[in-house]
Each structure stands twice: as structure tokens, then as C-alpha cells.
Chain A
């Protein structure tokens, strides 16, 4: 049981790392609306 959980946890970690790498190199879709497109102003 512990081994199964251990493997599951690590698969989750590996998937997350893969997702991060993909997100880093992914180009934004042309229709993606960014919140920071506007001019900078006082928060």
C-alpha cells in the first residue's frame, strides 16, 4: 500500500514538473485575453 501511494505521489510530482515545463515554453493563444495588456498604473 505504501509503495502504491509512494508511486502515485511521485507520478503526481513528475506530471506537475512536466506541466510546468510545457507552460513555460507554451506561447499564448492568439485569442487569450491577458490581464496585464493594459497600461501600467498605480495599484
Chain B
């Protein structure tokens, strides 16, 4: 282990930032906020251009002559059924964020739009559209391209399933390619560690508010937060010590089944026709406007709009980029035997349609309850974590749905941390599929420490900025990976 320079440098970087965060939480948070502000302002246009290029290129590839190419030997059949494949992919890619932002994000955008001018009914459509833009095709194009490149080179060219694999496979053993590969793997490890820790912190906030809502606790302070964090750490350490791959899949599927159950419950017991009407409007609105919206940079708007755009859409795109090595490697591993066309269409369309339903139901109920004065929309500004639970309080069986949401959030986080510790360990020992328990435990502890730093920052905004700061270079890495794929496809005989 001590001879593995990549592992040592990656650990030193993540531990270093963790210590900084623990010693001077506010300092790290302020630095991240300032850094993200400067970088997103100066090359935000490049991030938006890149994610649009990724989406358009994916669609072109799916319908091109290369669409028939199989990710693996030509006679290979897919390892998982299509339904299992889509379920696992979605649970890995979105997870706890859906529970967190389901109602809060559309309401946040709606409030912002109302502040910008006189309120009109169209603002609710616009708020849903912006939310879907942040969670839809562009997000999945980032994951999809990363996963496609890793799967293509892994299963057809026998490259190691590392972010550097395609680069080394395309450019050979030239020292520049070797050096670039090393740096890219390092950045991937770092981005995964930060992204996951942020998600862990958000999950803890979500579970905390669920518990507070259940027991009517007010002003619980850090004591409850840290208790939940400790329980979470205890829950993920055990699976890291034993091989529970099938058990983890069961936990992940359970979380998703609870989430889908919640969605159906709200759709049936909520204002069904109102929600369905909103969802149908969203489908049309989204698919007609999504490609041009990818090129929106709000260049000629005032500072308020620019800051809002940078802290939501741009921040989301950078966030998906931070998660792309982790989710990309995971999706690649479960996609062996699928054609490029089936892969791209599955990765892009299935999660996007699910998101349209998810936000249509949660956001729609948020708007409905807001209009009926049952839910104060200002809650998203006061305590965004509570939005989902306040919404559930206005529905029947509140205790049951609150418990279910809390359990789902908890399970999403446990499975994410275990999977991330596995991927980080795999990356740091050169792509081996069987990392030792010792390395997995070390990464588990580091992820916990990073999560604690994020929790201590106490603010979802600060967490998002710390993630965005760490993921900055990934916009370049994903483009480099796409280049490797396009270069290699030129040599395919189709």
C-alpha cells in the first residue's frame, strides 16, 4: 500500500481538506464559495457548452452506424434484465437528492420567478421546467458518456475500468499519456470522495428532519445531527468488512421501492388529475425546450439572475460532473452486453421520464398545497430540508410516510457510501475488482470524516460549493474521454 503513490496522494489530499474543514469550517466554506463564484463566472459558458455537446453527441451516436456496436463481444447477452439495469442505474445516479429536492426545488425556482416580476400561472411551469432541466437529459448525458467510454474500452479493448483506462488505451504508453492518466485518476478519486461526502451530509440533514418531524422536536442543534451521523457510520462500516454485494443491491432496491411507493401514494391520494395535467404539460414543455435551454448562460441578465443561474443549473452540472466517475464506473459495470444505442437511450430516457413524474408529483403537490395555503412556500428559504416532511404532514398517514422517507434516505446513503468506498478502493489500486477490506475501511473512514466536515459547515449551499470546487477539472476530463471514444470508433469496422 505504501508503494502506491496514487493512493497516498489521493488520501493526503482528501485528509488534508478534511482537516482544514474541521479546524476552520467557515474558512473552507468561504474559500469554496469564492472560488466557485470566480470559476463559474469565468468559464460557466464552457460547462454549459460541454454538457450540451455531451447530450447532442450521445444522441448522434445512438442513431449513427456505431449504435449497433456491442459493449462486449458480439455474442454477449446483457448481464441484467432491462428493468434491473434501469433500477440500479437510477438508484446510483440520483438517490437521496430526489427525496431532498423533490418538492423544494420547484418551489425555490417558483419563489425566485415571483420575485422577478408579477406572478403568473406560467411561472409554475417554468419552475418545473428548470428543475427538470437540472435533473434530466443533460445530467444523464454526463453520466452516460462517462459510463459509455469506460464500458466501451473496458469490455471491447480490455482496458482497466479506471478513468485513465480509455486515455492509456488510446494514446498508448507515451509518458504524457501515462502522466495524464495518473492525474485524471487522482482527480476522479478526489471528486468522488468530495461528492459522496456532500451527499452523505445532505442525507444526514434529511434523516434528521425526518426524525425531528416524527417526534415534534424543535431546535435539536448539532446533537441529533451528530447522533444520526454516528448511526450512519456504524451502519456502513459493517458492509465494508464483509462482501455483501447482493445484500447491498437489496438495500438499494428497497430504498428505490419505498421512493416509488411514496410517489404512487402521493399521486393517488393527492390531487391526481391536477398532478397528471401538470406532468403532461411538463413532458411537452421539457422536450420542446430542453436542447436550446442547454445553451442558456443568462449572459445579458442582471446580477441577481446570474447568481441564481450559477447557484442552481451551473452548480448542478458541476455536481453531476463530480459524480460522473463514480456513477460512470458503476453504470459501465452493469451494462456489459448492451449495444451503444440501447445503452444511450436507456441511460438518457428512462431516468428523465422518471424525473418528470417525480418532480411533477412532488413539485405539483407543493404548488397545490401552497395555493391552498396549507404549505408556506417560504419554508425553502428557512429550512429546505423540511420541505418534503411538511408536505407529507398535509397528507393522510403522515407518520407512515415520514418513517418511509426517513428510512429511504438512510438506505440511499448507506448503499452510496459502501459503493463509493468500493469504487475508491478499486481506483486507488489500479482497477482491481477485489480491493482489500483494509483499503475499503480506510476509504470508509475518510468518507465519514469528509461527511463530518460537510455537516459542520451546516449549510446545503456551502456543501454544494465545496463539491463544485472539487469537480471543476472534470469538465475537461469528460471531454477528453469523449475524444478517446470518438477516435477509437473511427477504427471500428461497422
Contact = CB atoms under 8 A, between A and B. Distances in A.
B479 to A, nearest CB: 6
B479 A5 contact: no
Interface in B155-171: 155-159, 161, 168-171
Interface in A1-43: 2, 5-6, 9-10, 12-13, 16, 20, 23-24, 28, 32-36, 38, 40-43
Contact of A33 (B154, B156, B173): B173
Given A23-B483, A40-B156, A41-B158, A35 B168 contact: yes
A36 B155 CA distance: 11
A36 B172 CA distance: 8
A5 B157 contact: no
Contacts of B155: 43
B195 to A, nearest CB: 22
Majority SS at the chain B contact face: helix
Contacts of B172: 28, 32-35
Given A16-B476, A43-B154, A36 B169 contact: yes
A10 B483 contact: no
Given A9-B39, A24-B486, A32-B174, A40 B46 contact: no
Of B158, B169, B173, B174, the most chain A CB neighbours within 10 A belong to B158
Contacts of B488: 36
A36 B157 contact: yes
A36 B158 CA distance: 7
B158 A40 contact: yes
Contacts of A2: 38
A41 B156 CA distance: 8
B349 interface: no
Query: Interface range on chain B: under 10, 10 to 19, 20 to 34, or 35 or more?
Result: 20 to 34
B73 interface: yes
Interface string B454-483: 000000000000000000000010011001
B487 interface: yes
Contacts of A36: 153, 157-159, 169, 488
Contacts of A20: 479-480, 483
A28 to B, nearest CB: 7
A6 B154 contact: no
Contacts of A10: 42-43
Contacts of B168: 35
Nearest to B39: A9
B480 A9 contact: no
Contacts of A24: 483, 486-487
B68 interface: no
A24 B476 CA distance: 15
A6 B39 CA distance: 8
A10 B38 CA distance: 12
Interface string B33-67: 00000110111001000000000000000000000
Query: Closest 10 interchain pairs by CB?
Result: A36-B157, A9-B42, A6-B42, A32-B172, A35-B169, A34-B172, A33-B172, A36-B169, A13-B46, A9-B43
Interface of B: 38-39, 41-43, 46, 73, 153-159, 161, 168-174, 476, 479-480, 483, 486-488
Interface of A: 2, 5-6, 9-10, 12-13, 16, 20, 23-24, 28, 32-36, 38, 40-43
Given A2-B38, A5-B42, 6 more contacts: A9-B42, A13-B46, A20-B479, A20-B480, A40-B156, A43-B155
19 contacts: A5-B42, A9-B39, A9-B42, A10-B43, A13-B43, A13-B46, A16-B476, A20-B480, A24-B486, A32-B171, A35-B158, A35-B168, A36-B153, A36-B159, A38-B158, A42-B73, A43-B154, A43-B155, A43-B161
